[in-house]
Structure 1
Amino acid sequence: MEYQDFNQLPAVATLSALAADPHDLSGPHGLTVERLQKYRASANGFDFLYAGQRVEHKVLDALQELADQAGLVDQFLAMKSGAVMNAIKGYESENRQVLHTACRDIFTTSRYAEKASKEAEQELFKLKQFLEAVRTGEIANAKGEKFTTMIQVGIGGSDLGPRAVYLALKPYRVPGRDAEFIANVDPDDSAEILGGVDLSRTLINVVSKSGTTLETLTNEKLVRQALRTAGLDPALHVLSVTGKGSPMDDPDNYLASFYMYDYVGGRYSATSMVGGVTLGFVLGYEGFVDILRGANEVDIAAEQRDIRNNIPLLMAMLGIWNRNFLGYPTVAVLAYSQALVRFAAHLQQCDMESNGKSVTRTGTDVQWKTGPVIWGEPGTNGQHAFYQLLHQGTEIVPVEFIGFRTCQYGKDITVAGTTSQQKLVANMLAQSLAMATGRGNENPAKRFSGNRPGSILLADRLNPETMGRLLAMYETKIAFQGFCWNINSFDQEGVQLGKVLAEKLLAQMALQDSDDKANNEEKTVECTLLKIAGMV
């Protein structure tokens, strides 16, 4: 596949010219009834309302040209079909396929990547058998009691996505089932979680593709020690999700092992066994399959070439407009749903680890801006925290609002003629209007400039299928943007240097001989830093 640099695409010049005079949202014709009706897209149970973005038809046409010139849908199809997309031409790299979509391409007999989808089906079958054995008590603790809790031990993609999805779908748990997560190597994290569960009725799910992740292995040993201290046999409690043939693919040490494959990156792995084992335990097998079904629907819909009818592609192109042509360096993802309390944290990794790159897929330095800083918290809490800056600060922050018309639990109350859910959605809509239109006032402190872009992603209710769709929309948006910027969105070399230096520091801390420590302290920056930090 031939790659084109972003700045060489003809539509870039057109968009640069249009950016000199973008649509004024705060003007007399900035946000009209007609505009609200026109600038919307609907697919897969979501309405995407983008009248609050600083675009008009000429900009959208040019963004369409940009998407076509970059071959974004063609690259997406190539990715789904098993092309090696995780690579830097001419340089050592992982050289892997990118097939997280194959994990949910299981609902028809015609698959894009047959081998990967078959492997996903095999793991799903193993999971179904395992969950049935847990349900019936065939897999139980030493006293024959059924397990009620699963603790997932993993970090990065082995934690953030599964944790965010679990928290989002807690109302759909199997009665009597719960999950906890241990990620941080901070021992207080483990101590708090382990101290709050009945270990005798808890399964420990250790997740690491390589089987060598330092933080995860350290926490696994801590958990195994806690089990032994409680008089429990770890062989009856600890299972693994890992790469086939890794040190954790060991039936002598694990109750069961499920496989994750090199072609699924950690931050895209929530719909693989990385998320499947814990989510299946908590939601039931069919609940996890519903997540896959929702994600697969979006994977198919994202093949639409018209950006006005392809929500992930439209989100991606609007993001590029804001980042590269209007010059906005950050994006706030503000979910008006407490259930999505950790979704922004998942997106931070998924987006910033993917598109936080400064080298093209041919190894040259990029000459354009790539991934923005992603951040966010749920509304309405955020309104009483950082929205002041969003409305009146000197930094303009594009906002992606996410909301649902109906609450999950169905427990609500009417006060002053409206329910709490209506108040929640009304606040979201009001904030989007206020950021776009602003307000004049003779008192400058009460003046709102407006013209601050935002969009709204709205669905009826957050359930497993909806969550799968939402997950896939953002995964695909991120991939589309990486393709457009001509960067490799699927490696994470920037994470590695810190790991190497940490190993050097730990090696020095582990030295027992005081003479060796004294000699080393005077020779390296790392050892000197340890000394002045009071760690040796």
Structure 2
Amino acid sequence: MTTWKDFADLKAARKLEELARSPYNLARPDSLPPERIAEYKASACGFDLLYAAQRINDSVLAALQELADEAGLLEQYEAMRRGAVMNRIVGHASEERQVLHTACRDVFSDAPLAPEATAQAEEQLARLKSFLADVDSGAVCNEQGETFTTMLQVGIGGSDLGPRALYLALEKYRLPGRKAAFIANVDPDDAAAVLAGLDLSRTLINVVSKSGSTLETRTNEELARAALAEAGLNPARHLVAVTGAGSPMDDPAKYLASFHMHDYIGGRYSATSMVGGVTLGFALGYDAFIELLRGAHEMDKAAEEQDIRSNLPLLMALLGIWNRNFLGCNTVAVLPYSQALLRFPAHLQQCDMESNGKQVSRLGSPVTWKTGPIVWGEPGTNGQHAFYQLLHQGAEIVPAEFIGFRRSQHGRDITVNGTTSQQKLVANMLAQSLAMAQGREHDNPNKCFSGNRPSSVLIGEQLTPYAMGALLALYENRIALQGFCWNINSFDQEGVQLGKVLADRLLGAMAGVQELSPDAPESSLLKAAGMV
């Protein structure tokens, strides 16, 4: 594998610093001629990326290609997919794990890059297919012999955000009489509200935790078990588990069925494993989940292309690095013009910020360059009537990534003033990209738009299971490639752990099993919050 190189040592970075002193001016009257818009377009897996509204020119693209080559980004990507230990920091204790979420969708390959991991994925898919067939036939049913109509997924973080986002995105394709629900927050009001809206007698509860000991998940599982018992139902007939082999949850006496997740698949990258597969397979059908995997697999292959102009994940990664490290943009807005992608930005928040929110390089030294940006977003056109004011005229420059589709999912539309609702949706998306780029001069300074604000438009034909899989893998690979370039470990999350440790101390004090010094900040906070 290519020797890891610090970002600050890359020669191409120096060239990009020079180019960033006079970046392309999008606000010029002639900044977006037809030939630029046509040339600055890349395609893969049914998606077109329109990036003419980025502050780049051919010289910047050439330097970004040099950056990718010098950092060995594709070599690192291939090493990851082949099972190299990527989750490590040189000279320091770390998880020392492989990173093989892509093996879950390499099942379509005649020569999988990580054969053992792909064989394990195939085994789990076969188990899922058999289980779903039993649910469909009624072989798996409740004590009254009735079929199950709902699956409630209980998990948090990567065991919730990705699967929930994918289900909401593809809810249109769910099987007749099937649906999914989710509980993540340890807030008991959330669990109570979700459980109250379900017919528990016909609900399967899917508890997802790799360790089998995640506090929030186990707490919500107990709430669900109590609700089943109150309804006179046997929990063992209603609960399934997705967990690590040998975990406390890997217990056939307590669960109707169990599926395994592996250490080499990180939580935020786990939606194409059984973490997402069980609920998505139940609600959408096994074939729809397979199509989602197929789309992800095709995008994984597209990420192997050497030329950045032909490699969507790599191109998006490098455009993000240009905006972050050389144009000084601290945040990026992901703006889907599809209501079905309501929770996709929330999933990307975790996937990106938990992956690349790091300040130590893989060589064990503090970084001297900016790493992951703040990622956020909401669907358009709603967002246009909310926070777009800042995007257009705020003092902070926020690069935008628009996502849209030419056709709606349901195909139920109406023509008003000569255009359909879907046409209006896409027109608004394209107009926002143009407005941010070109701005507007005006004698009244309050009506003046400076423009020169970068954005890209990612547009597909229709949001199908295949398209959703490709979109998911596009961003997963974009995030990993950026981490490789910044020379950080994108696959651990040590920053999450400190809060858990302190929460355990506070809970111990609240339960009366741990004594804290009266002068300890924890004691003072508990007292000030009225919790003791």
Aligned-residue offset at 1:528: 1.8
Q: From 512, 526, 530, give the equivalent of 2:522.
A: 526
Tell me the distance in 2 between the aligned counterparts of 1:290 and 1:37. 31
Are the counterparts in 2 of residues 158 and 274 from structure 1 also a CA contact under 8 Å?
yes
Aligned to 2:294: 293
Aligned-residue offset at 1:525: 1.6
Q: From 524, 529, 535, give the equivalent of 2:531.
A: 535
Are the counterparts in 2 of residues 521 and 528 from structure 1 also a CA contact under 8 Å?
no
Which secondary structure state, in structure 1, belongs to the residue aligned with residue 498 of structure 2?
helix
Aligned to 1:353: 354
Tell me the distance in 1 between the aligned counterparts of 2:517 and 2:318. 51
Are the counterparts in 2 of residues 521 and 531 from structure 1 also a CA contact under 8 Å?
no
Aligned to 1:214: 215
Deviation per CA, 1:425-480: give whole Å up to 9, x if none.
Answer: 00000000000000111111111100000000000000000000000000000000
Aligned to 2:499: 498
Tell me the distance in 2 between the aligned counterparts of 1:61 and 1:29. 22
Aligned to 1:322: 323
Aligned to 2:248: 247
Gaps of 5+ in 2: none
Tell me the distance in 1 between the aligned counterparts of 2:391 and 2:486. 27
1:164 corresponds to which letter in structure 2?
Answer: A
Aligned to 2:38: 37
Are the counterparts in 1 of residues 371 and 486 from structure 2 also a CA contact under 8 Å?
yes
Tell me the distance in 2 between the aligned counterparts of 1:425 and 1:522. 60
Which secondary structure state, in structure 1, belongs to the residue aligned with residue 207 of structure 2?
strand
Aligned to 1:441: 442
Are the counterparts in 2 of residues 333 and 399 from structure 1 also a CA contact under 8 Å?
yes
Aligned to 1:464: 465
Aligned-residue offset at 1:109: 2.2
Are the counterparts in 1 of residues 334 and 377 from structure 2 also a CA contact under 8 Å?
yes
Deviation per CA, 1:257-285: give whole Å up to 9, x if none.
Answer: 00000000000000000000000001100
Tell me the distance in 2 between the aligned counterparts of 1:22 and 1:351. 26
Tell me the distance in 1 between the aligned counterparts of 2:260 and 2:282. 16
The equivalences for 1:3-18 within 5 A come to: 3-18=4-19
Tell me the distance in 2 between the aligned counterparts of 1:451 and 1:108. 44
Tell me the distance in 2 between the aligned counterparts of 1:477 and 1:108. 22
1:228 corresponds to which letter in structure 2?
Answer: A
**Percentage of pairs with the same residue:** 68
Tell me the distance in 1 between the aligned counterparts of 2:109 and 2:486. 33
The equivalences for 1:333-344 within 5 A come to: 333-344=334-345
Aligned to 1:223: 224
Tell me the distance in 1 between the aligned counterparts of 2:321 and 2:33. 24
Deviation per CA, 1:54-79: give whole Å up to 9, x if none.
Answer: 00000000000000000000000000
Which secondary structure state, in structure 2, belongs to the residue aligned with residue 41 of structure 1?
strand
Aligned-residue offset at 1:28: 2.7
Aligned to 1:55: 56
The equivalences for 1:59-78 within 5 A come to: 59-78=60-79
Tell me the distance in 2 between the aligned counterparts of 1:452 and 1:171. 35
Which secondary structure state, in structure 2, belongs to the residue aligned with residue 143 of structure 1?
coil
Matched, 1:284 2:291: no
Matched, 1:262 2:233: no
Tell me the distance in 2 between the aligned counterparts of 1:346 and 1:127. 24
Tell me the distance in 1 between the aligned counterparts of 2:457 and 2:438. 15
Aligned-residue offset at 1:521: 5.1
Tell me the distance in 1 between the aligned counterparts of 2:268 and 2:336. 20
Deviation per CA, 1:198-220: give whole Å up to 9, x if none.
Answer: 00000000000000100000000
Which secondary structure state, in structure 1, belongs to the residue aligned with residue 290 of structure 2?
helix
Which secondary structure state, in structure 2, belongs to the residue aligned with residue 501 of structure 1?
helix
Aligned to 1:118: 119
The equivalences for 1:117-516 within 5 A come to: 117-511=118-512
Tell me the distance in 2 between the aligned counterparts of 1:200 and 1:396. 52
Deviation per CA, 1:353-389: give whole Å up to 9, x if none.
Answer: 0000000001100000000000000000000000000
1:535 corresponds to which letter in structure 2?
Answer: M
Tell me the distance in 1 between the aligned counterparts of 2:4 and 2:83. 17
Which secondary structure state, in structure 2, belongs to the residue aligned with residue 458 of structure 1?
strand
Between the two proteins, the alignment pairs up a number of residues equal to 531
Tell me the distance in 1 between the aligned counterparts of 2:211 and 2:460. 37
Aligned-residue offset at 1:12: 0.6
Are the counterparts in 2 of residues 160 and 345 from structure 1 also a CA contact under 8 Å?
yes
TM-score (norm 1): 0.98
Tell me the distance in 1 between the aligned counterparts of 2:13 and 2:172. 46
Are the counterparts in 2 of residues 31 and 52 from structure 1 also a CA contact under 8 Å?
yes
Aligned-residue offset at 1:108: 2.4
Which secondary structure state, in structure 1, belongs to the residue aligned with residue 93 of structure 2?
coil
Question: Structure 1 stretches (4+) deviating beyond 4 angstroms?
Answer: none
CA RMSD of aligned residues (A): 0.8
Are the counterparts in 1 of residues 156 and 184 from structure 2 also a CA contact under 8 Å?
yes
Which secondary structure state, in structure 2, belongs to the residue aligned with residue 474 of structure 1?
helix
Tell me the distance in 2 between the aligned counterparts of 1:179 and 1:81. 34
Tell me the distance in 2 between the aligned counterparts of 1:11 and 1:387. 34
Tell me the distance in 2 between the aligned counterparts of 1:28 and 1:173. 48
Are the counterparts in 2 of residues 151 and 202 from structure 1 also a CA contact under 8 Å?
yes
Tell me the distance in 2 between the aligned counterparts of 1:359 and 1:111. 33
Tell me the distance in 2 between the aligned counterparts of 1:412 and 1:109. 42
1:60 corresponds to which letter in structure 2?
Answer: L
Which secondary structure state, in structure 1, belongs to the residue aligned with residue 89 of structure 2?
coil
Tell me the distance in 1 between the aligned counterparts of 2:260 and 2:80. 21
Are the counterparts in 1 of residues 101 and 272 from structure 2 also a CA contact under 8 Å?
yes
Which secondary structure state, in structure 2, belongs to the residue aligned with residue 94 of structure 1?
strand
Tell me the distance in 2 between the aligned counterparts of 1:146 and 1:308. 50
Deviation per CA, 1:171-206: give whole Å up to 9, x if none.
Answer: 100000000000000001100100001000000000
Are the counterparts in 1 of residues 29 and 438 from structure 2 also a CA contact under 8 Å?
no
Deviation per CA, 1:318-357: give whole Å up to 9, x if none.
Answer: 0000000000000000000000000000000000000000
Tell me the distance in 2 between the aligned counterparts of 1:531 and 1:523. 11
Deviation per CA, 1:83-138: give whole Å up to 9, x if none.
Answer: 00011111110000000000000012201000000000000000000000000000
Which secondary structure state, in structure 2, belongs to the residue aligned with residue 93 of structure 1?
strand
